Amino acid sequence: MLAMGGRAPEFTLPDHTGETVSLSTLLRRGPLVLYFYPADFTSGCTRQACLFRDLHREILEAGLDLAGVSPQSPESHRAFRDKHQLPFRLLSDVDKFVIRMYDVRGPLGFGVRRATYLIDQARYIRAAVLADFRIGEHEAFMRRTMALSAAGARPPRASG
């Protein structure tokens, strides 16, 4: 996991529509919650995505944007988004290049760890949580981040 206060690495990945999107583009609207998850259509990942879907209006009202990253194809992401009515971008990292850059590879390089980063518009990592099986920790992190962002305060430094 990348350190708090460090710069988030720039990247470019295709989203669920096949459109190429960079981190800088995602940050144009404001700070970004970037979350990494193992796979579309798995129970934990579906639960997390639907949780973020249900919070999406509040996330935007707090001045934040949201995007998810996993190693499935844009076609898989599109089907996952459609099935669960996800209103945010899903980015496809088939080669796990960005997953490696953000240091969220699973044990022995297999899989992807469940991690959520808050990245400010200058690309600094302001907060993060790493909790592979504890979806509730990602929810609590998101709720604290939204509350502090809406209040104009600095978000929590780290969790998990």
Per-residue confidence in pLDDT tens, the chain, 160 aa:
898 899 999 999 999 999 999 999 999 989 999 999 999 999 889 999 999 999 999 999 999 999 999 999 999 999 999 999 999 999 999 999 999 999 999 877 778 989 999 999 999 999 888 887 777 777 778 878 877 776 564 544 444 4
pLDDT in tens, 101-130: 999 998 777 789 899 999 999 999 998 888
pLDDT, residue 135, reads 75
pLDDT, residue 124, reads 95
pLDDT, residue 125, reads 93
Residue 64 φ/ψ, nearest 5 degrees: -110, 160
pLDDT, residue 146, reads 78
pLDDT, residue 79, reads 98
- The dihedral region occupied by 137, where left means phi > 0, alpha psi between -120 and 50, and beta the remainder, is alpha
* pTM for the full predicted model: 0.88
Chain Cα centroid distance, residue 103: 13
* Sign of the C-alpha dihedral computed for residues 130, 106, 48 and 36 taken in this order: positive
Q: Classify domain 12-150 at the CATH class level.
A: alpha beta
Nearest C-alpha neighbor of 149 from the set 25, 33, 4: 33
What is the spatial distance between Cα 153 and Cα 6, in angstroms, rounded to a whole number? Answer: 19
Residue-wise over 47-62: b if at least 16 C-beta within 10 A, else e? ebbeebbebeeebbeb
pLDDT, residue 106, reads 85
Helix (H, G, I), strand (E, B) or coil at 105: strand
Q: Which residues are catalytic?
A: 45
